[in-house]
Structure 1
Amino acid sequence: MSSFISNVSAMNKKKLQKLAESLSKTAKHFNKHEVHCLIKLFNVLMGEQSEQRPKNGLDRSKFRNILHNTFGMTDDMIMDRVFRAFDKDNDSYVSIAEWIGGLSVFLRGTLDEKIKYCFEVYDLNGDGYISREEMFHMLKNSLIKQPTEEDPDEGVKDLVELTLKKMDHDHDGRLSYTDFDKAVRDENLLLEAFGPCLPDAKSTLAFESQVFQENNEL
């Protein structure tokens, strides 16, 4: 991120402004200046990728580095799922449009948008439900293992059952989008029940401050 301010975009100013104007029409929560700044950051990040790789967008490795270094994410499974949530066309790259659209929800999304995004992250197999098995894998992955426990899996299974009891409103042993939506609206803390997949307020403020406020060269 430190090289962002000093780097000059590879795209010429006219082309950059045209792209910013186009993308700002579809970016719900960013103005034209902010879109412009995010495009410049995207170009810097693209330039840091290996020249050997095709330039279709940010690859999985680069994107995970951003999640880890900028937003403090550490859970490999969750970072992979966040990448997939951004990569709408599933081509293994985050394009410029996917970058702007994804960050719009990631940084400034409405509750509706964040519920949809988190459910997508947690629905590991994409079948429209968060199953017991999916909950188990995510919770086991994110919880700190206690060395004194004889069988930590039992503790995770108990937590899955407690979570289902609280969130599974139709009592079918899995969470539908409707179940998840209702549970989160009743108690907002359940939005990230299966692992942190959104940035905290401090990381968001630091990112926006560096990218938007310190880069005023339009």
Structure 2
Amino acid sequence: MSAASRKAAESLAESLSKQVKHFSRTETRRLIHQFEGRCGQQPGRRAGSGLDRGQFRNMLHRTFGLTHDIIMDRVFSVFDRDNDGYIGVREWIAGLAVFLRGSLDEKIKFCFEVYDLNGDGAISREEMFHMLKWSLSRQPAEEDPEEGIKDLVEIVLKKMDHGHNSKVSYADFEKTVREENLLLEAFGTCLPNAKSIQAFEQQTFQDLPQL
């Protein structure tokens, strides 16, 4: 890397570490370096475009153990704030800050955005059904799986639908999760577990001084 490139990278790390919570400047620099390496592995990548959907999904699956197709696509969309079909370096850092180290408030917002498939500000019966169908259809069952999923959706609505309008608003979701944290990922795993976070951070931030 040339001196000019190093200076630009340091300047970007300094800027991002001030804008995004949870990462130090040195950690941000490591994440930028990792981002550049991942982008460089993409054949036919458009210059300056960022991380594409396929590469990002591959990371979610291999590094963090996510397997739900719909959920992985939605996580990509939540990271891709400008909706250009690529995750830029700023989106990468900001997304990982919540994904890896987010507060409960940040995680509630993140999970809700993932589950709100059409982005209308509410999780409908249909959206719940589609997300739960993929997970439950993989489990062996003697009964009609779709009937079981419909029953589960009704149970979830009874628990979460505080407005009694057959859908879960952000306020409904937030209230329910604050009362019962285990319901944060009620519609599918969209956050990494502690073990995968530790492995990722050890690999990414190895040799950095402990704060």
Shared fold per TM-score greater than 0.5: yes
Give the structure 2 partner of residue 97 of structure 1.
90
Q: For 2:157, which of 161, 164, 171 is the aligned residue?
A: 164
The one-letter amino acid paired with 1:93 is Y
> In the alignment, does 2:113 pair up with 1:117?
no
Instruction: Give the root-mean-square deviation of aligned CA atoms.
Output: 1.8
The alpha-carbon deviation at position 214 of structure 1 amounts to: 3.8
The alpha-carbon deviation at position 21 of structure 1 amounts to: 0.6
> In the alignment, does 2:208 pair up with 1:211?
no
> In the alignment, does 2:23 pair up with 1:30?
yes
> In the alignment, does 2:9 pair up with 1:19?
no
Question: CA–CA distance in 2 between the matches of 1:148 and 1:124?
Answer: 27
Q: For 2:76, which of 79, 83, 89 is the aligned residue?
A: 83
Q: For 1:127, which of 120, 125, 140 is the aligned residue?
A: 120
Structure 1 residue runs of 4+, over 3 Å off?
8-11, 51-55, 144-148
TM-score (norm 1): 0.91
The runs of 5 or more residues in structure 1 that have no matched partner are: 1-7
The alpha-carbon deviation at position 54 of structure 1 amounts to: 4.0
Give the structure 1 partner of residue 57 of structure 2.
64
Question: CA–CA distance in 1 between the matches of 2:70 and 2:130?
Answer: 9
The runs of 5 or more residues in structure 2 that have no matched partner are: none
1:90-144, Cα deviation, whole Å (9 max, x unpaired): 0000000000000000000011110001000000011100000000000001224
Question: CA–CA distance in 1 between the matches of 2:4 and 2:71?
Answer: 33
1:148-192, Cα deviation, whole Å (9 max, x unpaired): 424110000000000011111121110000000000000000000
Question: CA–CA distance in 2 between the matches of 1:214 and 1:51?
Answer: 33
